[in-house]
Amino acid sequence: MTINEVRSKYLEFFKHRGHTVIPSAPLVPQNDPTTLFTGSGMQPLVPYLLGEPHPKGNRLVNSQKSFRAEDIEEVGDNRHTTFFEMLGNWSLGDYFKKEQLPWFFEFLTDEMGIDPQRLYVSAFIGDESNNVPRDTESAEIWRLLFSAKGVDAEIREIGSESDGYRRGMQGGRIFYYNAKKNWWSRAGVPENMPPGEPGGPDSEVFYDFGTPHDAKFGAECHPNCDCGRFLEIGNSVFMQYIKQEDGSFALLPKQNVDFGGGLERIAAAASGNSDVFLTDVFSDVISLLEKYSGKQYSDSGFVRSFRIVADHMRAAVFMLGDGVRPSNTERGYVLRRLLRRASLHANKLGLPHDKSGDDSESILARAATILIEKYKMAYSELDGESAFQEIIQAITQEEIRFAQTLVNGMKEFEKIAQSGKVDALEAYTLFTTYGFPFEMTAELAIERGLAVDSEGFAREMKKHQDLSRAGSEQKFKGGLADHSLKTTQLHTAHHLLLKALQTVLGPHVKQRGSNITAERLRIDFSHTAKMTPEQLQDVERIVNERIADALPVVRSTLPKQDAEMLGAEHEFGAKYPDMVSVYSIGPVSASLESPQFTESYSIEFCGGPHVANTSDISQGGAFKIQKEEAVAAGARRIKAVLL
Ligand SMILES: [Zn+2]
Ligand SMILES: [Zn+2]
C-alpha cells in the first residue's frame, strides 16, 4: 500500500466516524519565526485536551508533518527517518477506550489488511503506591477484539522494560507494562505529577515481523524489545485522571483520547516488510539513484547512503515547502546540513554533485521532483509551478555552494594532512570555517592512513552547538510529549521576562522571536543598546519576585480586537486568527468586563501551555539570565535558565 493510500484511508475511516479533518500545522511554527522545529507537531491541541472547547468539534483527525533533528545521525538503519507523518485522532471529552481501541484495530486489520496474528499490544499495569488502578478495561477490550478475529490472546504481566528481557513473551499477546512505558502526563510517571495535573494510561500496538530475537539486547524478546522484531505502530493515550492535592488520583470530568501513529510504520507493517525505505515514497527515489549510479540498494556497502539521500531529500523538500531556506543559523542550518549530507552520500554512490548524466538537472533535483509529485496532492504547499521552481532552485543553488566549499576545504585539508595527522580541533575548524563535513575529513584521512580523532571532534561539536534537541524519546505520545514540566515552567517565566524587560528598559521593547527547550529559554527583543549589569540584575530580580508572588495564570479565548484593546503582547509581523488565545498572569478572570484583567501583570497572545500559578515555576529553580547579546540590528537576545 502506498503512503498516500494509507493516509487517505485513515482520514476517511475517522471521517465516517464523525471526525473533522484538521490540516497539518506547518513544520515551521507560525507564531515563532525563529525557532527550530518541534519534534511532533500537535502543540495547538494541548489547550483543548486540557478542557478548552475546540472550534472544530470533539472528534478530530489529521496527518501531521513532523521532523526530528536529533535523528539526523541515526538515519541509515531500516526505521529511522528525520521527517515522518504522524496520524492522529482525538476525542475531546467524547468517546473513550471502548471506541478507540476497536476502531484502531479495525483500521489495521480490515482497512490495512494486517494479519491480527502479527499484532501485539500493551496496557498499563497500575501503580499501587499512587493508587492508580491497572488498566484492565483496555486489556479486556483487546482480548475480545482478538478473540472475534479467532486469535487467542492471553494477558501477561511484564512490568518494566528490563523485566521484559527477563520474563519474555510467556505465550501472551496483551502485556502489562509499568508507568515508564504505559503512562502519559506532562510531568511523566504518576509520582512526578504535581496536584492538578491530568494524566492517564496508554495502550500501544506493535507489529511482529517475526525476525529472530537478537540476544545482545537481553535474554528474552518482548514487544518493547529493541532487536527489530517488533515495531511500535500506534499509541492511544487515555487522559483519564487528575492528581489531587492529597496525592490520590480522581477521574477527570471529561476524558480524552490522544492517538498518535506512524504513517510510514503502518505502511511498512501492511507490507510485512520491516524496511520503511521500501515503502513507495522512498523506493521510487532509491530506484532513481540505482539507475544513475549503477549501484544496488541491496548492496550492504551502499544501503546507508541510499537511505540517507532518500530521507534527507524528503525532509528538505518539506522544509523548503514551508519556507525555510539554507543558512548558517538554526533551522536554515538544519536544512543546509540535510542537503549537504544528501549531496555527500549521493557522491559516495558515485553520483556527481551537479549533473546526473544526460541533461542539466542534478540528481538531488530529480529526487526532489519525484517527492514533490508524490506529496503535492496531500500537501498544497508543494503544489503548483512556483512552489516547484522555488524548491528546485534552492536545492540547485545549495549544491553549487557546497561544491565550492568542498574545493576550498580540500585545499585546507591538504595543508593539514602534511603534518601526518588530523586532530580534533583541526577537523572542527575545517567544518566550522570551511564548511567541510567531518565525514569527508574522516574519509580522506582514512584513505591516506592518517589518524583522526572522531570522539574529540564530537566533543568540540557538543561544546559549540545546541541544535537538534527538540523532541522527546517517546515518539508516539502525540504532540503532548514535548511539553515537559520544565518547558512549561520556562514558558511562563518567558512571559514574566518580557514584562520585566519592558519595565526596566521601556515600552519600546517588543518580542521579536523566542525559543524554549527543557533546558533554557531564549527571547529576541527590540532594543538597541547593550544592557548594563544593573539592568540585568533588575530584570532578574523582578521575574523572581513575580514568581514568589504566586500569581494565577489564566487562559482565555476572545476576539482578536478585544485582545489588542487589552494591550495583549503579540509578536511583530505574526498573523493571528479572528479568535485568539490569550494568557494573562495575575488576574482572577479574563474578559473585557472584568476589571481585574487590566490589572493583570502580563497579557500575551499565546497558545500555551503554562503552569497554573507562577509559584509552580519555583520548583524548577531560581530564574537566572545567562547571556545577553546582540542578535540583529536593533535586536538583543537573552538566554535564561531555572537553576
Ligand atoms: Zn527481541
Ligand atoms: Zn507564550
Question: Could you tell me the three cell numbers for 454?
Answer: 572522531
CB atoms within 10 A of CB 216: 7
| Span 115-122, average pLDDT | 98
Q: Vertex 109, ends 78 and 82: CA angle to 5°?
A: 25
Q: Which ligand is nearest to the CA of 211?
A: 1
Cell numbers describing residue 565: 484593546
Helix (H, G, I), strand (E, B) or coil at 428: helix
Report DSSP state, residue 530: P
Residue 468 reports pLDDT greater than 60: no
- Phi and psi angles of residue 9, each rounded to the nearest 5 degrees, phi first: -65, -40
Q: Does the structure show a pLDDT above 50 at 467?
A: no
CA 138–ligand 2 middle distance (angstroms): 36
Question: Cα(73) to centroid of ligand 2, in Å?
Answer: 31
Distance 569 CA to ligand 2 centre (A): 10
In the three-class reduction of DSSP (H, G, I as helix; E, B as strand; rest coil), residue 34 is classed as: coil
Cα within 13 Å of Cα(259), Cβ side: 30
What per-residue string of b and e applies to 352-371 under the rule 16 or more CB within 10 Å gives b? ebbebeeeebbbbbbbbbbb
Distance 508 CA to ligand 2 centre (A): 19
The rounded distance, in Å, linking the Cα atoms of 533 and 467 is 28
Are residues 523 and 499 in contact, defined by beta-carbon separation less than 8 angstroms?
Answer: no
- Report d(CA 47, CA 491) in Å as an integer: 14
Quote the ligand 1 centre to 160 CA distance (angstroms). 15
Ligand nearest to the CA of 498: 2
What is the Cα–Cα distance from 351 to 344, expressed in whole angstroms?
Answer: 9
Rounded to an integer, what distance in angstroms lies between the CA atom of residue 396 and that of residue 412?
A: 25
Average pLDDT over residues 85-107: 96
Span of 36-50, 140-154, 531-545, 563-577 with lowest mean pLDDT: 36-50
174-198 pLDDT per residue, tens? 999 999 999 998 778 999 888 888 8
Task: State yes or no: pLDDT of 288 exceeds 90.
Answer: yes
Average predicted confidence (pLDDT) for the chain: 86
Residues 6+ apart with CB under 8 A from 332: 324, 325, 326
Q: What is the mean pLDDT of residues 93-118?
A: 97
322-334 per-position pLDDT tens digit = 988 988 766 788 8
Number of the ligand closest to the Cα of 490: 2
Instruction: State in Å: Cα 305 to ligand 1 middle.
Output: 26
List Cβ<8 Å contacts ≥24 apart for 411-418.
412/436, 413/440, 413/441, 413/444, 417/444, 417/445, 417/448, 417/450
Residue-level pLDDT at 478 = 34
The rounded Å distance from CA 609 to ligand 2 centre is 8
CA torsion sign, 343 to 466 to 188 to 617? negative
* C-alpha grid cell, residue 482: 514535548
**Closest listed residue to residue 25, CA positions, set 386, 379, 316:** 379
- Report how far ligand 2's centroid is from the alpha carbon of 498 (Å): 10
The pLDDT assigned to 556 comes to: 77
Q: How confident is the model at residue 246 (pLDDT cuts 50, 70, 90)?
A: very high
Q: Read off φ and ψ for residue 547, nearest 5 degrees.
A: -65, -45
Judge whether residue 473 has pLDDT over 90: no
Lowest mean pLDDT segment, chosen from 95-109, 135-149, 505-519? 505-519
How far apart, in whole angstroms, are the C-alpha atoms of residue 401 and residue 393?
12
H helix runs in 16-56, sequence order: 46-49
Asked if residue 364 has pLDDT above 90, the reply is yes
Query: pLDDT tier at 601 (50, 70, 90 boundaries)?
Result: confident
Taking the C-alpha atoms of residue 274 and residue 128, their distance in angstroms, rounded to an integer, is: 37
Which percentage of the chain shows pLDDT scores above 70? Answer: 89
Radius of gyration of the chain (CA): 26
Q: Sign of the C-alpha dihedral, residues 222, 225, 228, 232?
A: positive
Tell me which range, 8-12, 198-202, 525-529, 633-637, is most confidently predicted by mean pLDDT: 8-12
Q: Provide CB contacts within 8 A for 61, sequence distance 6+.
A: 10, 11, 14, 15, 19, 20, 21, 22, 88, 89, 90
How many angstroms separate the CA atoms of 378 and 65, rounded?
Answer: 11
Contact between 159 and 182 under an 8 Å Cβ cutoff? The reply is no
In degrees to the nearest 10, what's the CA dihedral of 461, 465, 469, 470?
-140
Q: What is the pLDDT of residue 46?
A: 65
Measured at the alpha carbon of residue 497, what is the angle toward residues 496 and 501, in degrees to the nearest 5?
Answer: 120
Q: Which amino acid is at 157?
A: E
Q: Is 206 helix (H, G, I), strand (E, B) or coil?
A: strand
Could you tell me the distance, in angstroms and rounded to a whole number, from the CA of residue 492 to the centre of ligand 2? Answer: 7
Strands (DSSP E) along 76-154, which ranges?
83-92, 119-124
Q: Are strands 59-67 and 635-642 parallel, antiparallel or unpaired?
A: unpaired
Residues in contact with 358: Cβ distance below 8 Å, sequence separation at least 6, in sequence order? none
Least reliable range by pLDDT among 158-172, 207-221, 353-367? 353-367
Confidence at residue 573, expressed as pLDDT on a 0 to 100 scale: 63
On whether the CB atoms of residues 312 and 339 are closer than 8 A, the answer is yes
- What is the rounded average pLDDT of the residues 218-236? 94
Task: For the chain, give the percent of residues with pLDDT over 90.
Answer: 53
Average pLDDT over residues 78-95: 91
Ligand nearest to the CA of 217: 1
Residues in the chain: 643
| Cβ-contact 76, 108 below 8 angstroms | no
- Average pLDDT of 478-491? 67
Q: Lowest mean pLDDT of 160-164, 310-314, 614-618, name the range.
A: 614-618
Starting from the CA of residue 169, give the closest ligand: 1
- Say what the pLDDT of residue 356 is: 45
Task: Examine the pLDDT at 503 and tell me if it is beyond 50.
Answer: yes
pLDDT digits (tens, 9 = 90+) for 553-598: 877 777 777 777 777 887 766 677 777 788 888 854 444 444 444 4
Query: What ligand has the least distance to the C-alpha of 165?
Result: 1
More confidently predicted of 561 and 86: 86
Task: List pLDDT tens digits, range 391-428.
Answer: 999 999 998 888 888 888 888 898 888 888 888 888 88
Stretch among 308-317, 329-338, 520-529 having the lowest mean pLDDT = 329-338
DSSP H helices in 233-362: 263-271, 280-293, 303-321, 330-348
Long-range contacts from 399-408, C-beta under 8 angstroms, 24+ separation = 399/339, 399/343, 399/353, 399/354, 399/362, 399/364, 399/365, 400/354, 401/326, 402/339, 402/340, 402/343, 402/353, 402/435, 403/353, 403/354, 405/434, 405/435, 405/436, 406/353, 406/436, 406/440, 408/434, 408/436
Within 13 A of 343's CA, how many CA atoms are on the CB side? 27
**Residue 3 CA, ligand 1 centroid: distance in Å:** 27
Which ligand places an atom closest to the C-alpha of 568? Answer: 2
Asked if residue 640 has pLDDT above 70, the reply is yes
C-alpha of 215 from chain center: 31
Q: What pLDDT is stored for residue 118 in this prediction?
A: 97
Q: What are the two backbone dihedrals, phi and then psi, of residue 500, each rounded to the nearest 5 degrees?
A: -65, -35
| Residue 487 to residue 503: CA distance in whole angstroms | 24
pLDDT of 162 over the 70 cut: yes
Query: In what helix (H) or strand (E) does residue 501 lie, and over which residues does it extend?
Result: helix 485-505
Region 155-173 average pLDDT: 96
pLDDT band at 234 (very low <50, low <70, confident <90, very high): very high
Answer yes or no: is pLDDT of 469 > 70. Answer: no
